[in-house]
Chain A
């Protein structure tokens, strides 16, 4: 009891003196825990979008190996696109930027956890910094995926003449202030903004961009990886690096040297490598109304399967502006089969192995490989040729078009492949990234597109085609704008004719002269119903005709390869074949409706048909309905 009393008195005394005391300790009191100070990063912002895509496909005609499921109800994009993209962007006090793009998806298939835990990165993490010195400005970035572009022969994404149907939307397409702007921009400029990735290639690694260097030099480069030419083991060496040294000789005249090297170990102990390298020289010159671009180089490919040695490549481009008397764009190129590259602005058709075949690195993305029959502006290696394009207006009618002739440099595979201009996306959605699928294993699906391989029976002893292939292409686009009942009306017409044959011709061939001929016609209409609503319509047909040197169908009867003359009853002009005789069709209707600032609703419905009477089982028919809500922030 006395002890308690003493403690009480002591504490009481302390308390009294506590209040009259002015002295205080300055050292912090003991804590077993860490002390931390608030030190916020200077800037962190978030941006991104929410994109709901509801999809219903109803198949009336299916391939025979269909499981019986004819209706598909899907939420979310098929092609690994974010439903919620949350882009984190930060900047430290040291001017180091960092970013990550969080991708959050939910497939709305019930409350089970496995259906609702999809949180990942869309592309990856990036760190960037900029150093300003007396010698120049040096921009570094590290990480990936970053979109990189250097030159057409080294690193360049596919950029053609933007002749396409704009009925279908791409998820990367930004929203416009007004739904009609998408169509008016396409009418005026012929370009739809496809986001940063358009025209560039995905790379990971260390990036450098040095500008304002002495003597007007600039340098850019990357050491890292692309999603091509990869090793099976992730830890094995597989790198792609490139750089560009550019000098601005005059205000409108630049020259550049480009280098690219790609190497991948192809066995577990790194004994064998598959590699290629490229050196190119490039020149850009601009006059008042004419632009000139030239790039030429040497490439070398070697691998355990074959050593191709050196091959040359040349791209020449002369373009007169629209303001010139005769607006034109002349493109010439020659790319040897030994000039192998998968990140340039041309298709690789000579080495299959450089395509990715490793899970997780875009393994499923394999472009047409076997002598692809492509549109204008899509060079391929083992090919040479040229095209001339023009672009002019007659009143409100805007016309652009081009014609091209191309030839193989050396004989190649006994195949031809062609990309579907109509129903390409629809087919690719039926079997995502499938290779050699369909009842005849003709079909191949890529990212939002599909192509078919055609076998050729005229072969040599090595199984290669017994001849060089020649390709012809014509593209013609018309765009017209008027008003109906004081509302804007746009109509877009696109005609494409491609053919591949054994001999050179000035124009595309149709019928038995061509191994394969492809004719497509697409018409898109947009009509502004109100300020916030646009009605869209689309109609497209595609005809593919093969001759007797290509795959022969299983139909006992030959079918007409000229429906028009058959319809007219002009048997004299009508022809019949047993090879490919495809008749594809798409009829679509849609609505773009702005529901608020940065929020637009897109509704699309189409009826499709993929049909070939000579290949009895090649018959698909059905409809697709898509409801897309995109909100950006």
Chain B
């Protein structure tokens, strides 16, 4: 009675006959940082500091039988300046087995990269990264690679399987996906106490009802297994999601309308089994979301417009979609010059740190809302799944047929569903835009030359009395000029400035995510980053880049002294 049809494209596993084959990445990295000129003296820090390394991530693919692959990623790394074996490490970075059973059921065990949809399991891009230009690609590539960020997926460890059916009437397909992973294993907290295993499981059933209609249902649950540890408190956060998508078309364009909705629960189970009492739950919250999105895109790719409305409950909690990449916990200090001035102040984080410091980023699924910095992302700090938002958004991509000019606009107008600490609600305006002029196409030059400009603006306002009212404005500008001076060799210049002004309340939460306090914080700062360099691009993932960065931060009427630093960077990155 089973109706399997092998729709899984397995040709990819059978391109070549080698039992063992390799790919991977090799990278040489060197950075030298120097203290710039500042009014406030810093004679306690080293005037300059350098570090570097060479690494090879050797991806070993073993195909013992057809349609089965064992994959191990070995990292061989040696620090720059260490000779004769010191500063060398060899680690296993990933280990996975995957394949298909009888050409029908696909499975993966081990390190897997999972994504469902934007409200259940989704790894949103980090703050201020939307319109990055090529100048900083080498930095951004490292952050993404080192933190296993790929295609907005979370890297998890567990088991995943999927299979599909095809039908010729009533419905066209029925696609089933299931996974269970362990984001955190049980660990010893002391000699006698252990934390519980944290599991994340989920499933999807999707059906293409016909050529135009798709219906899907998703479920995901982040939960602790109380019996795997000795603590009697365990979190449970199931999320249910459904969506209906309609695809339409006209002669020159396609339409897509998506209606999706879902709800979440979250509570902490207090197990009283050792005491003989019945279990109880606490801090239970429930929330729903709703989104209606309409897309229009021309077949010649010159225009794409998305218009939508979204509502997300204040208590909607979805750990898989609301975990952030950037981790703003206070103990997460900057790697480059963490202290500055002769008073040994903790150096406030700048956009340069966000761009270059891979250790500021998070790879874990968090059961609570993570801390964010409102100047970098206040409108949608948790992406589209940000709770307590209600509003409309408009996105567009416009380009000429020859791609002489490419532009992107992303805007949104949101409002809180309920006020935080007051009856007044925040209003948010999001205005982001980027335009790229391909000058070589405009002027018919043989060598490439392009100018890119982008602007990202977030405005937050709240009415009320002098205590309740707030206003925060943050703005980032990017300018990037790239010109090909010889074949594949580019001279590049970039300017990035970030400006934040106003006041906002930072929320403090307890271990169960309840708000415990609001801390009024005033902002009036300007970050700047100027960069010039050359890049030799063999292809997209094979390049050598030398650049010099001038970066710093200035504050008006604030306790922090301004600072300036410089950096020389060399990266040779080769995708094997």
Chain A 194-233, CB-CB to B under 8 Å as 1, else 0, gives: 0000000010111000000000000000001101001001
Inter-subunit contact A361/B1 (CB<8 Å): no
A140 interface residue per 8 A CB criterion: yes
Q: Is B164 an interface residue, CB under 8 A from the partner?
A: yes
Is B169 engaged at the interface, CB distance under 8 Å to the other chain? yes
Most central of B21, B167, B172, B177 by chain A CB within 10 Å: B167
Determine if B544 and A40 form an interchain contact, defined as CB atoms under 8 angstroms apart.
Answer: no
Stretch from A62-70, A91-99, A243-251, A570-578 forming part of the interface with B: A91-99
The CA-CA distance from A137 to B28 in the complex, in Å, is 22
Asked if B90 contacts A238 (CB within 8 A), the reply is: no
Q: Given the complex, which residues of B lie within 8 Å of A555, measured CB to CB?
A: none
Is B259 close to A, CB under 8 A? no
- Secondary structure class of chain B's binding surface, majority of residues: strand
Does chain A have a CB within 8 A of B79? yes
Complex partner residue of B46 from A121, A124, A125, A236, CB under 8 angstroms: A236
Chain B residues with CB under 8 A of A39: 23
Q: What residues on B are CB-neighbors of A237 within 8 Å?
A: 32, 48-50
Tell me which residues across on chain A come within 8 A of B15, comparing CB atoms: 37-38
Query: Looking at the complex, which one of A32, A121, A234 makes contact with B121 (CB distance below 8 Å)?
Result: A32
Q: Does B468 contact A (CB under 8 A)?
A: no
Give bound CA distance, A98 to B77, whole Å.
Answer: 13
A119 at the binding interface (Cβ < 8 Å): yes
Q: Are the CB atoms of B51 and A17 closer together than 8 Å? A: no
Give per-residue flags for B479-500: 1 if the beta carbon is below 8 A from chain A beta carbons, else 0.
Answer: 0000000110000000000000
Report whether B13 and A362 are in contact in the complex, using a CB–CB cutoff of 8 Å: no
Please determine whether B16 and A38 come into contact, CB atoms closer than 8 angstroms: yes
B48 lies within 8 A of A270 (CB): yes
List chain A residues, Cβ under 8 A from B79.
234
Q: How far is the CA of A67 from the CA of B48 in the complex (A)?
A: 47
What sequence of 0s and 1s flags, for each residue 55-83 of chain B, a beta carbon within 8 Å of any chain A beta carbon?
A: 11010010000000000000011111111
- Assembled-state Cα–Cα distance A142/B570 (Å): 10
Question: Which of B206-254 touch A at CB < 8 Å?
Answer: 206, 208, 216
Q: Convert A130-158 into 0s and 1s, putting 1 for each residue whose CB lies closer than 8 angstroms to a CB of B.
A: 00010000001011110000000000000
On whether the beta carbons of A30 and B204 are closer than 8 Å, the reply is: yes
Which of A44, A96, A362 interacts with B84 by CB under 8 Å?
Answer: A362
B453 to chain A, nearest CB (A): 31
If A88-B58, A225-B81 touch, whether A121 touches B76 (CB-CB below 8 Å) is yes
Query: Is A33 in contact with chain B by the CB < 8 A criterion?
Result: yes
A28 CA to B87 CA in the complex, in Å? 45
Closest to B51 in A: A235
**Set of chain A residues within 8 Å of B22, measured between Cβ atoms:** 40-41, 44, 90
Interface string of B84-123 (1 = CB under 8 A from A): 1111101000000000000000101000111110000100
Interface membership of A323, Cβ < 8 A:
no
List of B residues within 8 angstroms of A28 by Cβ:
7-9
Q: Which residue of B lies closest to A88 (CB)?
A: B58
**CA separation between A633 and B544, bound complex, in Å?**
33
Contact B574 A92 (CB under 8 A): yes
For A31, the chain B residues whose CB sits under 8 A away are 106, 160, 162, 177
Once bound together, how far apart are the Cα atoms of A28 and B179, in whole Å?
18
Residue pair B153, A360 in contact (C-beta under 8 Å):
no
In-complex Cβ contact of B167 among A14, A41, A233 (8 A): A14
State how many angstroms separate the Cβ of A174 from the closest Cβ of chain B. Answer: 21
With a cutoff of 8 Å between Cβ atoms, the chain A residues found around residue B204 in the complex are 30, 32
Q: Is the CB of A361 within 8 A of B82?
A: yes
Task: Please judge, given known A-B contacts A11-B3, A98-B26, A121-B88, whether A92 and B172 are in contact too, CB under 8 Å.
Answer: no
Are B538 and A120 neighbours in the complex by a CB distance under 8 Å?
Answer: no
* A-contacting residues, B142-172, CB 8 Å: 150-151, 153, 160, 162-164, 166-170, 172
Asked, given contacts A18-B167, A127-B572, A234-B79, whether A122 binds B106 with beta carbons under 8 Å apart, the answer is no
Is B175 located at the chain interface by the 8 A CB criterion? yes
Mask: chain A, 437-456; 1 = CB below 8 Å from B; 0 = not: 00000000000000000000
CB proximity of B134 to chain A, nearest CB, Å: 18
Q: Is A432 in contact with chain B by the CB < 8 A criterion? A: no
Q: Which of A34, A88, A268, A362 contacts B151 (CB 8 A)?
A: A34
Contact A123 B84 (CB under 8 A): yes
How many residue pairs, one in A and one in B, have C-beta atoms under 8 Å apart? 232
Query: Which of B43, B112, B486, B542 has its CB near the most chain A CB atoms (within 10 A)?
Result: B542
> In the complex, how many angstroms separate the beta carbon of A365 from the nearest chain B beta carbon?
9
In this complex, the member of A13, A140, A143 whose beta carbon has the largest number of chain B beta carbons within 10 angstroms is A143
**CB atoms of B76 and A100 under 8 A apart:** yes
Residues of B near A44 (CB, < 8 A) are 22
B189 interfacial contact with A, CB 8 Å: no
**Do B5 and A38 touch (CB < 8 A)?**
no
Cα A380 to Cα B231 with chains together (Å): 70
A10 within 8 A of partner (CB):
yes
The reply to whether A144 and B90 contact each other, CB–CB distance below 8 Å, is: no
Q: Which residues from A are CB-within-8-Å of B170?
A: 10, 14
Chain A proximity of B64: nearest CB distance (Å): 15
Check: A36 CB closer than 8 A to any chain B CB.
yes
Task: A37 to B113: give the CA distance in the assembly, Å.
Answer: 15
Shortest C-beta distance, A272 to chain B (Å), equals 11
Residues of chain B contacted by A80 (CB below 8 angstroms): 84-85
What is the minimal beta-carbon distance from B220 to any residue of chain A, in angstroms? Answer: 9
Given the interface pairs A33-B113, A125-B56, A269-B45, the reply to whether A40 lies near B3 with Cβ below 8 Å is: no
A629 within 8 A of B: no
Q: How many angstroms between the C-alpha atoms of A595 and B274 in the bound complex?
A: 69
Among A19-27, A49-57, A391-399, the one that faces the other chain is A19-27
**CB within 8 Å of A: which B29-60 residues:** 30, 32, 43-51, 54-56, 58
If A120-B88, A126-B54, A270-B48 touch, whether A361 touches B83 (CB-CB below 8 Å) is: yes
Q: A120 and B177: CB pair below 8 A?
A: no
The residues of B that contact A13 with a CB separation of less than 8 Å are 169
Asked if A102 is at the interface (CB within 8 A of a chain B CB), the reply is yes
CB–CB A32/B90 < 8 A: no
Residue of B nearest to A362 (CB): B83
Cβ contact within 8 Å between A127 and B49: no
- Closest A residue by C-beta to B8: A29
* Shortest Cβ distance from B539 into A: residue: A94
Once the chains bind, are A30 and B576 in contact (CB under 8 Å)? no
Q: What residues on B are CB-neighbors of A32 within 8 Å?
A: 114-116, 121, 160, 162, 177, 179, 202, 204
- Is A24's CB under 8 angstroms from B16's CB? no
Q: B26 and A125: CB pair below 8 A?
A: yes
Q: How would residues 169 to 194 of chain B score, 1 for a CB under 8 Å from any chain A CB and 0 otherwise? A: 11011010101000000000000000
In the bound complex, do residue B86 and residue A360 qualify as a contact, i.e. CB atoms below 8 Å apart?
yes
Taken together as a complex, chains A and B put the C-alpha atoms of A224 and B52 apart, in Å, by 10
Q: Besides the contacts A31-B177, A32-B114, A204-B83, what 19 more A-B pairs have beta carbons closer than 8 Å?
A: A13-B169, A27-B208, A29-B164, A32-B160, A32-B204, A33-B106, A35-B9, A38-B21, A88-B58, A90-B22, A98-B56, A120-B90, A121-B76, A121-B85, A206-B30, A206-B570, A236-B50, A270-B46, A270-B48
Can you offer 6 A-B residue contacts whose CB atoms are under 8 A?
A: A27-B208, A38-B12, A80-B84, A96-B26, A140-B572, A142-B28
Residues of A within 8 A of B (CB): 10-15, 17-18, 20-21, 23-25, 27-41, 44, 80, 88, 90, 92, 94, 96, 98, 100, 102-103, 119-127, 129, 133, 140, 142-145, 202, 204-206, 224-225, 227, 230, 233-238, 265, 268-271, 359-362
In the A-B complex, list the 7 residue pairs whose CB atoms are closest, starting with the nearest: A360-B86, A21-B168, A29-B164, A270-B47, A40-B21, A142-B28, A125-B54
